[in-house]
Amino acid sequence: MVESLTGPWPWYVVGPLIGLIVPFLLLLGGRAFGISSNFRHLCAAAPAPERWKPEFLRYDWKKTGLWNIFFVFGIFLGGLLSLVLIGIPDAGASISEATRADLLALGLTDISGIVPAEIFSWSALLSPVGLALIVGGGFLVGFGARYAGGCTSGHAISGISAFQLPSLVAVVGFFAGGLIATFVLLPILFG
């Protein structure tokens, strides 16, 4: 059983499972699948006088966001449970040889972990490239998710399945941004 949980699952198993989440949430709870709005719910739930909160955070978060907070807590708990029961996977098996070659071509030297330590570590955070990637990238992802009205999971899974044109436009934008970051920004930052 543990062996089947530690390796990648085939697309024809995972795809339908993810796809079934959408009707399950809609039919049983009248909810759309998405993650990015949870930070707003957490901030709205923070114990502070209402007059100190911006208008954006003054709403009944228990009515609209309580299930989201439990959902994200479940994701965290599931990750923690898998860490305890299964452990940390072999990082060498997580990165394909093509990706290794591309990272080495960018000038990275230590790709032994799940993510390159030269980019994603506390010491890298203090470098200009690390600051741009971690802080700048994090800000842009957060801002973009709110500006687009949702994150990749909300638009790609729920929005497209509901035939929403704005979700299709957002997903095309997500992919375009990923391609630009991979083939334009990373070579500039590490060149």
**DSSP string computed for 108-158:** -----SSS-TTTSSHHHHTSHHHIIIIIIHHHHHHHHHHHTTS-HHIIIII
**Pseudo-torsion of CA 115, 116, 121, 127, nearest 10°?**
-140
pLDDT surpasses 90 at 12? yes
Q: Would you give the end-to-end CA distance of the chain in angstroms?
A: 45
**φ, ψ of residue 119 in degrees (nearest 5):** -110, -45
pLDDT for 102: 86
Check residues 179 and 58 and name the one with the higher pLDDT: 179
pLDDT for 168: 92
pLDDT for 108: 84
Residues 41-55 have a mean pLDDT of 85
pLDDT surpasses 60 at 87? yes
Check residues 183 and 25 and name the one with the higher pLDDT: 183
Confidence of residue 180 (pLDDT cuts 50, 70, 90): very high
Residue with tokens 């741009």: 132
pLDDT surpasses 90 at 179? yes
pLDDT for 93: 57
Nearest to 157 by CA among 181, 174, 140, 138: 174
- How far, in Å, CA of 128 to CA of 68, rounded? 35
* Share of the chain residues as helix, strand and coil, in percent rounded to the nearest 5: 70, 0, 30
Residues 121-128 have a mean pLDDT of 85
Residues 144-168 have a mean pLDDT of 84
Confidence of residue 77 (pLDDT cuts 50, 70, 90): very high
Average pLDDT over the chain reads 82
Q: Cα–Cα–Cα angle for 41, 42, 46, nearest 5°? A: 115
Confidence of residue 60 (pLDDT cuts 50, 70, 90): confident
- How far, in Å, CA of 161 to CA of 171, rounded? 12
pLDDT surpasses 60 at 92? no
Residue 25 CB partners (closer than 8 Å, separation 6+): 31, 32, 33, 158
